[in-house]
Amino acid sequence: MLRITLYFSFLTALLLSAPAISAADNAVNLYYVRHAESLGNVTHVHSWYNDRTLSDKGKQQAADLARKLDAYHFDHIIVSPKYRALKTILPYLKKHGMVAEIWPELDECCWQKSRDASSASRLSLGNRIELDADLKPYFTFSHSEYEYKTRSYGDGIFQLLKASDLIKRRFAKSGKNILAIGHYHAGSRIFEILQGLEPDGRYKLRNARINHLKEADDGNFRVVSFNQ
């Protein structure tokens, strides 16, 4: 645990090293949505099929989310490579003719009960991300077509530190509105890292609910609304 704590302290210092910005003029708005309900959520049997398939309720949640998101304008949409996340945002993308970027760093992780951080110094690449033909017009890869192998809790934290760093490097001081579609465990810890907190899973994200974080003057983010 000491190893990951030291790494987190180092990367947090790196993330906060950017000069303060004017939140009123250039603040980034990050809207984060956990995927709609999957069969895995319903049955608690996390098979390959259940985890990539939305339940009937989840399909309705995705449709309702597409309508709710009409009230917003997004400059970029980023999404986990998991099919339950892709299918959550797909109705919105189809409705507006938009394309989302797949970010492997947003993939689910940190579900392990054991928090051994012995493997937190680097990540290995996993399987290549394959898209069904009906998804290809609506998703693109911005920097990698491969998932990460997150074998341990420490690996997951490393992945989420990379995700948070990438969000700040891509969008800090831009004044843009970013929509991210992700997961329960990963999303909670991204929230914490972006606020400069130790990632511990404090936030209980509900399926297909909109959460809003806004960049502050100190370069961290603040929670504006939660589970809306």
The string of pLDDT tens digits covering residues 200-213 is 999 999 999 999 99
Q: Is the pLDDT of residue 111 over 90?
A: yes
Q: Is the pLDDT of residue 16 over 90?
A: no
The total of structural domains in the chain comes to 1
- Does residue 52 or residue 114 have the better pLDDT? 52
How far is residue 204's CA from residue 224's CA, in Å, rounded to a whole number? 15
129-143 tens-digit pLDDT: 999 999 999 999 999
- Residue % of the chain over a pLDDT of 70: 88
Q: Is the pLDDT of residue 223 over 80?
A: yes
pLDDT of residue 174: 97
Cβ-contact 55, 41 below 8 angstroms? yes
Rounded to a whole number, what is the distance in angstroms from the first to the last CA of the chain? 34
How far is residue 37's CA from residue 39's CA, in Å, rounded to a whole number? 7
CA–chain centroid gap for 207, Å, is 13
From residue 47, give the alpha-carbon distance in Å to each of 50, 79, 125: 5, 21, 22
Domain range for residue 211?
2-225
How many beta carbons lie within 10 A of that of residue 30, not counting itself?
A: 23
Q: Where are the beta strands (DSSP E) in the chain?
A: 29-34, 76-79, 100-102, 124-128, 139-141, 146-149, 177-182, 210-215, 221-225
Q: In the structure, what pLDDT confidence band is assigned to residue 25 with cuts at 50, 70 and 90?
A: confident
Q: Is the pLDDT of residue 10 over 60?
A: no
Q: If DSSP codes are grouped into helix, strand and coil, which group holds residue 67?
A: helix
- Cα four-point dihedral sign 85, 5, 154, 13: positive
pLDDT of residue 144: 95
How far is residue 11's CA from residue 29's CA, in Å, rounded to a whole number? 22
pLDDT of residue 91: 98
The strand pairing partners of 100, in sequence order, are: 139
Cβ-contact 177, 145 below 8 angstroms? no
Cβ-contact 86, 79 below 8 angstroms? yes
Residue 87 sits in a domain whose CATH number is 3.40.50.1240
- Phi then psi for residue 134, to 5 deg, are -75, -15
Average pLDDT in the 107-125 region? 82
pTM beyond 0.85, yes or no = yes
pLDDT of residue 228: 96
38-85 tens-digit pLDDT: 999 999 999 999 999 999 999 999 999 999 999 999 999 999 999 999
From residue 148, give the alpha-carbon distance in Å to each of 37, 39, 44, 145, 152: 23, 23, 23, 10, 12
pLDDT of residue 117: 56
pLDDT of residue 113: 87
